[in-house]
Amino acid sequence: MIPRLKAEGLTRILGGRRVVDGIDLSVAAGQVTCLLGPSGCGKSTTLRIIAGVDRQDAGTVTLNGKVVADDHVHIPPEDRGVGLMFQDFALFPHLTVAQNIGFGLRRDGVSDARVEELLIRVDLAGYGRKHPHELSGGEQQRVALARALAPRPGIMLMDEPFSGLDNRLRDGIRDATLNVLKEEGTAVLLVTHEPDEAMRMADEIALMRDGRIVQRAAPYNIYNAPVDREAAAFFSDINTLSAEVNGALTHTPFGQFLAPGHADGTMVDIVFRPQHVRLDFDRNGRGPSPTETEGTPARGTVERARFMGKESLVEFVMDDGRTRVTATVPAVFLPRAGTVMWLSIRRDRCFVFRQPEKAHA
Ligand SMILES: Nc1ncnc2c1ncn2[C@@H]1O[C@H](COP(=O)(O)OP(=O)(O)OP(=O)(O)O)[C@@H](O)[C@H]1O
Ligand SMILES: [Mg+2]
């Protein structure tokens, strides 16, 4: 299937720096791709180039099978057939809700039926004659969504469209928005710096760092098979055991880990998430027996335990005196500082990464 949106080699140099550095992306009809990454990594610049409000220094943008931007072509934003939605989705204050939604349609002849259809879609039937100041933030956001969708763009570009919303409203609005976009079969590129939002919305996450995409995968895969330590750390707190490879093996307080493909003497990080640590009480200096799935247990002492609401966070110092491990456990479990416990790690949830060069120095 031909993707609705395709970007190849997008590059943008600003202030002498490659803020967007060879971005490749594609989004099919009815799919949501989230461009996710830390502040300043170049997400908005990428989106702005695709929208046509900024120009690339190199690369090609193809929308609906047609090149809209390359070294020779620059189709203006209004002729690209994309819907745009940004953080400040300013509605026209002097126009009614229906007029706001119909605004973009003027050129092509407004269909009142389409406006009515969209009002129902975004759950605002009967709101058409109100003015923006009579609506809550969440309702205004839905009007903005309806306005962007009114001309039936095949492609929707959204830049942190939910960030101005109250926390409690946000989840509901995200889901409602997603439903509408799926019903309309729109190809969506959504920019966000929040991993939770990307996990919730995306069919595919494109993880961005320093102007590049470091990994493109479905939420499940990106969470469970991150490309590097930083990618793992973007989605949750992580634990890291640092170890040297010897004969494709490493020795850690949790026994040996396989490190295939790493030369002897290489330093690797064994990375795992706090929710994949199992805790057992100490029984007269003994812990549970080693198992294939959870490896060799290691003994540690509770340094601190904190109640976080849906889970508790327990921090340990291991018996070697230098390895620190954090475990999360569902519900309230607050052992006292000084409590001795045995920790096991789900082996299939550990990632082994070569340490970046600078860490060797
Ligand atoms: N006109 C400009 N001149 C020089 N540098 C710029 C310009 N516009 C953006 N930048 C820089 O480019 C980088 C990428 O900016 P961009 O807005 O794309 O980041 P972002 O990933 O959207 O970040 P955020 O999550 O904070 O919105 C930033 O370091 C920014 O300071
Ligand atoms: Mg931005």
**Residue pLDDT, tens place only, 209-257:** 999 999 999 999 999 999 999 999 999 999 999 999 999 899 999 988 8
Percent of the chain with pLDDT over 70: 97
- Looking at the CA of residue 193, tell me the nearest atom of ligand 1: 25
Whether residues 204 and 106 fall in one domain:
yes
Whether residues 244 and 103 fall in one domain:
no
Q: Which ligand gives the minimal distance to the CA of 35?
A: 1
Indicate which residue's Cα is closest to atom 31 of ligand 1.
40
Report whether pLDDT(184) > 80.
yes
Whether residues 112 and 203 fall in one domain:
yes
Q: Model confidence over 27-54: pLDDT tens digits?
A: 999 999 999 999 999 999 999 999 999 9
Indicate which residue's Cα is closest to atom 25 of ligand 1.
39
Q: Look at residue 107 in the predicted model and tell me its pLDDT.
A: 55
Distance from residue 212's CA to the centre of ligand 1 (Å): 13
Indicate which residue's Cα is closest to atom 3 of ligand 1.
14
Whether residues 252 and 345 fall in one domain:
yes
Whether residues 201 and 267 fall in one domain:
no
Distance from residue 133's CA to the centre of ligand 1 (Å): 32
Report whether pLDDT(141) > 90.
no
CATH number of residue 240's parent domain: 2.40.50.100
Q: Look at residue 361 in the predicted model and tell me its pLDDT.
A: 45
Distance from residue 86's CA to the centre of ligand 1 (Å): 15
Largest CA distance in the chain: 81
Indicate which residue's Cα is closest to atom 8 of ligand 1.
14
- Rounded to 5°, the CA angle 172-176-180 comes to 170
Whether residues 128 and 71 fall in one domain:
yes
Distance from residue 113's CA to the centre of ligand 2 (Å): 35
Q: Domain range spanning residue 270?
A: 236-359
Q: What is the pTM of this model?
A: 0.89
- Looking at the CA of residue 160, tell me the nearest atom of ligand 1: 27
**Total domain count, the chain:** 2
Whether residues 255 and 207 fall in one domain:
no
Distance from residue 130's CA to the centre of ligand 1 (Å): 37
Helix-helix angle 137-149:167-184, to 10 degrees: 20
Whether residues 42 and 120 fall in one domain:
yes
Query: What is the pLDDT confidence band of residue 174, given thresholds at 50, 70 and 90?
Result: confident
32: its two tokens: 């949501």
93, 132 contact by CB (below 8 A) = yes
Nearest CA to 201 among 38, 31, 84?
31
CATH number of residue 196's parent domain: 3.40.50.300
As a whole number, the mean pLDDT across the chain is 91
Indicate which residue's Cα is closest to atom 22 of ligand 1.
44
Distance from residue 46's CA to the centre of ligand 1 (Å): 10
Protein residues whose CB sits closer than 6 Å to any atom of ligand 1: 14-15, 19, 37, 39-45, 193
Q: Which ligand gives the minimal distance to the CA of 17?
A: 1
Whether residues 171 and 298 fall in one domain:
no
**326 backbone φψ class: left, alpha, beta (φ>0; ψ -120 to 50):** beta
